[in-house]
Structures are given as structure tokens and as C-alpha cells.
Amino acid sequence: MKQVLPIPPEVVQQVAEYFSLLSEPMRLRLLHLLRDDEKCVQELVEATQTSQANVSKHLKVMWQAGILSRRSEGTCAYYRVEDQMIFDLCNRVCDRLATRLEQQARSFRILNSKL
């Protein structure tokens, strides 16, 4: 039997922090908006219909984590997705959720047909 080595607490903490980035719906919305090309903060504010402060807060968190890159042009800040792997992760989660929902729907149909 293969021995499992303990994971250092700081590694576990970093992994948990990375996953926590995706636990915020606004961040997922922003990632979706940035999927194909970069956008300035004002475009993201308009698309999400929320405050500039809220959008900027979430962009900063993702930028600090290395998921986004940022460039300034005049008075505008532009963001784009730097780590495209984030979409692979999101797609895998969405595929898994879709599979679970399909299984639940089948179970409900079976139950409904027996009632």
C-alpha cells in the first residue's frame, strides 16, 4: 500500500484560497465577460450593472491571484484573463453539475411515472 505523505498546511491554505476565488458569483460573471477579450473597468461595470467599487474589488482579487492581467491606458484600466486554465476548471465543474442535474431529472421522471 502506498504511503500518503502529509500536505504542508501552507500548501493546503494556498489551494483553498485559489478555490475560494471561484466561490463568488460576481467573479464568475466577470470571468465570463472577460473570456474572449480584455475590457475596461467601465465596460464591466455597465455589463454587470453594479458599482465601480464592487467590480474593482473583485478584479483586484483575481489580479493579485494571477488569474487576470491589467494594463492602463490613460485613465482606464483594462483587464484580461491571464490564466486560461481557469476556464478548464470552470468547464469541468459545470459539466459535472450538468451530469448530476440530468441524473436527478431522470430520477424525478421515474418517480413521477410511478405516482
Q: Which residues contact 37 (CB under 8 A, 6 or more apart)?
A: 80
Contact (CB, 8 A) for 42 and 76:
yes
Whether residue 55 is contained in a domain is answered as: yes
Whether residue 26 is contained in a domain is answered as: yes
Instruction: Write down the pLDDT at residue 72.
Output: 95
Q: How many domains does the chain have?
A: 1
Q: Which three cell numbers stand for residue 97?
A: 453539475
Instruction: Write down the pLDDT at residue 3.
Output: 83
Whether residue 77 is contained in a domain is answered as: yes
Instruction: Write down the pLDDT at residue 112.
Output: 81
Whether residue 36 is contained in a domain is answered as: yes
The pTM score is 0.82
Instruction: Write down the pLDDT at residue 40.
Output: 97
Whether residue 103 is contained in a domain is answered as: no
Contact (CB, 8 A) for 47 and 32:
no
pLDDT tens track of the chain, all 115 residues? Answer: 778 888 899 999 998 988 899 999 999 999 999 999 999 999 999 999 999 999 999 999 999 999 999 999 999 999 999 998 999 999 999 999 999 999 999 888 888 887 7
Instruction: Write down the pLDDT at residue 111.
Output: 82
Euclidean distance between CA atoms 17 and 20, whole angstroms: 5
Whether residue 92 is contained in a domain is answered as: no
Whether residue 42 is contained in a domain is answered as: yes
Whether residue 105 is contained in a domain is answered as: no
Range of the domain at 72: 9-82
CATH of the domain at 21: 1.10.10.10
Spatial CA neighbour of 58 closest among 76, 85, 31: 31
